[in-house]
Amino acid sequence: MTTAQKTLIVPMIIIGSMFAVLGFALGINAFFVPFVKEAFHISITMSYLVMTATFLAFVVFGVPSGAIIKKFGYKRGMITAFLIMALGFYLIAPAAKIVSFPLLLLALFVSGMGQTLLTGAVNTYVTILGPSESAASRISLMGICSKTFYAAASLMLAVFMDLTNVQIADTIQPFYIISGALAALGFLYYFAPLPEIKAVGEDESDNNSEVSAYANSKTTILQFPHLLLGVLAIFFDIGLEYLALGSINDYATMLHLPSPENYVWLTSAGMVTGYILGVILIPKSISQRSALLASTVLGVVVTILIVISPADLSIYLVALLGLANALMWPAIWPLAIADLGKFTKTGSSLLVTGIIGGAFLPLLFGYVADMTSHQVAYLVCLPSYLFIMYYALSGSKIRLK
């Protein structure tokens, strides 16, 4: 291990723990989808609003979060994110006490604001923490932390909340605990040894590098087409990722399978497997762009198989979508912020707004499932995989001279 690699260990461990918290926070949605459907006696489509509420925050708060990071730096931005998330999850308790679905959605929106800020900070931080060509490998390593704790959220909530005997009051105690833990973590991270770092060319006094020359020739973030297309790619990627993660427990419930809250572990296991492959193979054996292309091809094939296979088999193919989705975010993010120079923080905040895809695609899935069936509804994945395939082949290479 080189000296440079050794210096990355402590920051990577700290950032990895933050990715774990992000995964846990988003994993709450996977458990809530079938839970609120019973607790509030609403339709499948309405139940997926819990994901819409969280991800809507990413487009509303995406640009402001970039301004916060630019003004206060990555570390203070991360700490602020934890406090906002703590407030959001705290509000779930009063929503349960008065049995108010709108207040529950507001609480998830507020927690989503914190997740927006944290997502932009940690992903950009880990991207520029080391060599750009291995950024997808580092993000994949972080993804292992994230998706393991995404599934752990269902396991933890199942201790307090029973999907087979839904009681809305059961949400009060666990979310007081979660809120307190997040506030405590924010305090502890204040003392964490995380150095402030900058991307290549981000220092506006640096006019010598090739990246600086390219970025300095631009007057607005809208002059980077590979970034703008990257926002769309993130939109579709997050929609796909959280559709697979957020729908599998609900699908298992509809099929009357035992312990439906545990099926999210299968999708998470598929994603963790993909992340491990990313850590091992990128960039030694495969480039970030090639990994992205292979992921989309697998996604198209698996989606078609889900629709044409028997239902008792297709639910396990949904888990295989986790493998297909795993390396898309780790590959898209560094490809999209490449060569942004002094626009890097602004670009990362714009990328974060693409996470709104996690609000729309699952909601579209819920609507189609209401009209047809869960199995047929997975067809909504196909256009998303095809766009990301285009981004891998062409969109990520476009540069304005």
- What span, in angstroms and rounded, lies between the C-alpha atoms of 90 and 295? 37
The pLDDT assigned to 164 comes to 73
Task: Say how many CA atoms lie within 13 Å of 209 toward its Cβ.
Answer: 15
The pLDDT assigned to 211 comes to 57
For the full predicted model, state whether its pTM sits above 0.95: no
On the 0-12 / 13-18 / 19+ scale of CB atoms within 10 A, 117 is: buried
Please report, in tens digits, the pLDDT of each residue of the chain (401 residues total).
444 455 678 889 999 999 999 999 988 887 887 788 888 888 888 888 888 888 888 888 888 888 888 888 888 999 999 999 999 999 999 988 888 889 999 999 999 999 999 988 898 888 888 887 888 888 888 888 888 888 788 888 888 887 777 788 888 898 999 999 999 999 999 988 888 777 665 665 555 555 556 667 777 888 889 999 999 999 999 999 889 987 888 888 888 888 877 788 898 889 889 989 988 998 888 988 999 999 999 999 999 999 999 988 999 999 899 999 999 988 998 899 888 877 877 888 788 888 888 878 888 998 898 899 889 999 999 999 999 999 999 988 887 55
- b/e map 330-365, b = 16+ CB within 10 Å: bbbbbbbbbbbbbbbbbbbbbbbbbbbbbbbbbbbb
Nearest to 235 by CA among 24, 387, 46: 387
* The token pair that represents 308 in the structure block: 């044409």
Find the DSSP H helices in 129-209: 135-160, 172-189
Residue 329's H or E segment, with its range, is: helix 328-337
Q: Where are the domains of the chain?
A: 3-397
- What span, in angstroms and rounded, lies between the C-alpha atoms of 298 and 291? 11
- Give the relative orientation of helices 288-308 and 328-337 as an angle to the nearest 10 degrees: 140
The pLDDT assigned to 355 comes to 83
CA pseudo-torsion sign 343, 348, 349, 354 = positive
Tell me how far apart the terminal alpha carbons of the chain are, to the nearest angstrom. 39
The pLDDT assigned to 259 comes to 81
Q: Hey, what amino acid is at 49?
A: L
DSSP class per residue in 121-135:
HHHHHHHHTS-GGGH
The pLDDT assigned to 5 comes to 53
- What span, in angstroms and rounded, lies between the C-alpha atoms of 271 and 142? 12
78 near 121, Cβ under 8 Å?
yes
CATH number of 3-397: 1.20.1250.20
- What span, in angstroms and rounded, lies between the C-alpha atoms of 240 and 322? 9
DSSP state of 262: G
The pLDDT assigned to 201 comes to 59
Condensed to tens digits (0 to 9), the pLDDT of residues 309-327 reads: 998 899 999 989 999 999 9
Residue 94 phi/psi, 5-degree rounding, is: -65, -30
